[in-house]
Every structure is written in C-alpha cells, then in structure tokens.
Chains A and B, each alone.
Chain A
Amino acid sequence: DQQVKQNSPSLSVQEGRISILNCDYTNSMFDYFLWYKKYPAEGPTFLISISSIKDKNEDGRFTVFLNKSAKHLSLHIVPSQPGDSAVYFCAAPLPSGTYKYIFGTGTRLKVLA
C-alpha cells in the first residue's frame, strides 16, 4: 500500500513561472512531511519540511502547503529556474516512534529556459 503518492511522474514549466508539485498521503497519523530534490547520480537533498501544526512553510523560493483535511501537500517553486530541474520526492516519517521515512515515487521537474 503506497501511503505517500505523487501522481504526476513529470512536469515541465517555463523559466520564471511557478512550479507546483503535489503529494497525497493516506495515513492520517502522519504529522511531519519533507520534500527532497534529487539530481541524477546523487543522493536526495533536503529542501523543506512542514509540521502538521502548520499549513504553510516558506524558505526563499520554496513554499510547502499542507491541507490536512484533504491529506494533501504541495511544493511551490517561484520563480522556477533551470537549476531546479530534478526529481522531487515527498516523504513522511512513520508515526509511533519509528524513524523510517516513507517516500513517494517522485515527480521529475523540467524547467525550460
């Protein structure tokens, strides 16, 4: 059972425009979420996180929104830059004292110059 889902395998956006990457989850006990960026042949790089007590967290060009009632989070990148082209994963730690992360399958973002 895929507890964290990224239903869009790819997304193309023009440079300077907004990129919106989506993630849905099924486990209502999740209380913390993270976004990672991954370039080819590299490990995932932490981008931004959000606790379930918030509905928004912002860091520079990156903003994560959390809608708990819909079990949905999104990552907004504004403005998008060609260097943002990568695969983006959302992840959540399993609750109840375990520390393993459950990852989505990723969305490949391509920012067109």
Chain B
Amino acid sequence: DTGVSQDPRHKITKRGQNVTFRCDPISEHNRLYWYRQTLGQGPEFLTYFQNEAQLEKSRLLSDRFSAERPKGSFSTLEIQRTEQGDSAMYLCASSYAGLVSDTQYFGPGTRLTVL
C-alpha cells in the first residue's frame, strides 16, 4: 500500500512539552499539506509544501508551530510548548500537481491530546 502514512497515530503529552509528527506522502506526489481537525469541525488548512518549499501558512499556525519538508519527501510538524487548545487530529495530505485540479489524499491522522 502506498497511501499517505502518519506517525505516531496517537500522542498524549503534558502542557508545555514539544511534540513532532511525521508524514510520508504518496511517493510521486509533489504537494504536501497539513490540516487540523477538531471535534464537530471539518479539517482546517495549516500549511502546504510544493516539493521542499513551504508556500503558504495559515494564521492558525502560530509561531509555536513549525513544519519542514527537507528533501521534498516526508514532512514533519513540530509544536513547541503545547497548550490544551492544541488538542486535535492533525491530518497530512498529498497531491500531484497536474493540469487540472489535483485531488488531495489524506493520511490516517495523528490524534494529539494535551493534558
């Protein structure tokens, strides 16, 4: 199976700790996206990469959040000094930039719980 994978699937941490999530996109996809989903809401865009370049960041992405995609393949999302409000499902998606609208395919998500 060559779908989008995310690690870990679940993370429980104490407030103030740093956490890092990893996303491995579908291998031929050059675009990678991070979204956040909270209960009762749809996924909300955080940031996206085209190859290794981070091209857009949402204002939801405070300075405690940083994302990287160093070699244009996997990506990491780090949250520093976690707060209880960071508790959410963090979703990664990837797509291939084509001539028409590209479809984003999502991974299983990382559920973060901040105590």
Contact = CB atoms under 8 A, between A and B. Distances in A.
A1 to B, nearest CB: 13
Contacts of B35: 101
Interface in B20-54: 31, 33, 35, 40-45, 48
B101 A42 contact: no
A57 B56 CA distance: 31
A41 B111 contact: yes
Interface residues on B, range: 20 to 34
B48 A100 contact: yes
A77 to B, nearest CB: 19
A1 B25 CA distance: 30
Given A41-B111, A44-B91, A99 B31 contact: yes
Given A99-B95, A105-B40, A105-B42, A51 B107 contact: no
B80 to A, nearest CB: 23
Interface string A97-113: 01111111110000000
B109 A43 contact: yes
Nearest to A31: B101
A4 B33 CA distance: 19
B112 interface: no
Contacts of B106: 36, 43-46
A101 B43 contact: yes
A89 interface: yes
B45 A101 contact: yes
A46 B105 contact: yes
A99 B45 CA distance: 10
Interface in B62-115: 91, 93, 95, 100-109, 111
12 contacts: A34-B103, A41-B109, A42-B109, A43-B6, A46-B103, A46-B104, A49-B103, A98-B56, A99-B33, A101-B104, A103-B43, A103-B44
